[in-house]
Amino acid sequence: MLRAGPSNIAQNPGVLQPSEPLSANICKRHRREPVYFGDFKLSDMTNVQRQMRFWKIAHETVDKYRKVKKYNQCKVSRYRNRIKSLNSLLDELLKEKKISAGQSLVLKESLSETQKQLLFSHLKKGKSNKYSPELRQRPQVVPSYQFVK
């Protein structure tokens, strides 16, 4: 083992001298490989291998967000169906006389506007008037035009 001191530095020329720059042995760090879509730079498009990597990562990102979008759409659809089923449950309980009209009124008032619209459209479903009066009007026939020859 070498002891520290001026005689050991002179005997071992491989040891750094104080006059030498310390950055001589530090090598330049390479840029990290791009992993995400935003990691790429415009200069990466000059290299064919990086172009292919960009293409692959871009498609993976698009596929990932398509799956997320589809999942969220299914989730919203399930919530809408749940609201319809809760409103139909309220109607069934009222028909079976397990709740009173006052209780159903309280439940209806606690619903939001969109839920109320769904509920009342569901209540009107059993009646023969499925469509609004404007839609039930008989369509008028457009007179045919005679063409001049």
One DSSP character per residue, 57-83 reads HHHHHHHHHHHHHHHHHHHHHHHHHHH
CA dist 123 and 105 (Å) reads 13
19-28, 39-48, 67-76, 115-124 — most confident range:
67-76
Contact 64, 71 (CB under 8 A): no
Q: What percent of the chain has pLDDT over 90?
A: 9
Contact 38, 48 (CB under 8 A): no
Q: Which of 24-28, 61-65, 94-98, 115-119 has the lowest mean pLDDT?
A: 24-28
CA dist 72 and 102 (Å) reads 37
CA dist 68 and 53 (Å) reads 23
Contact 119, 108 (CB under 8 A): yes
pTM (two decimals): 0.38
Q: What is the pLDDT of residue 83?
A: 64
CA dist 83 and 136 (Å) reads 28
